[in-house]
Amino acid sequence: MSFESKVLSFKNLYDEISRKMPLVEGKIFKDEYINGDFSRYSKCTFINCTIVFEFGICSFTNCDFSGCAFEAKQGSPAALILTLDRQLRESASKEKHR
């Protein structure tokens, strides 16, 4: 199986899972601890929340975040993604200040 077909298979699986995830729309979350996995959020506001992921399978569309922290369970796929994101941001910041 080619790399392209593996990516397409993964995208199809992600799309199928996404369609089955519950939709939370237009809700305001304040000072909450939220499990972000396997939910879709649309037009929601998150204020001083901690949003935790294990798998990182979720969707945030047109949402606002203020004072929130994003965390991942140690050793999870989401932890790897957050670590990579931090490293890329730090690297980009260092390049910008050269």
Model pLDDT for residues 14-52, shown as the tens digit of each residue: 777 777 889 999 999 999 999 999 999 999 999 999 999
- Tokens read off for 73: 């369970």
Domain boundaries defined on the chain: 22-96
Residue 40 sits at the vertex; the CA angle it makes with 14 and 36, to the nearest 5 degrees, is 95
Whole-structure pTM value: 0.72
pLDDT for the residue 69: 93
pLDDT at 70 > cutoff 80: yes
Q: What is the mean pLDDT of the chain?
A: 86
Taking the CA of residue 25 as centre, how many other CA atoms within 13 Å lie in the half-sphere pointing to its CB?
3
**Which distant-in-sequence residues (6+ apart) come within 8 Å of 24 by Cβ?**
39, 40, 41, 42, 44
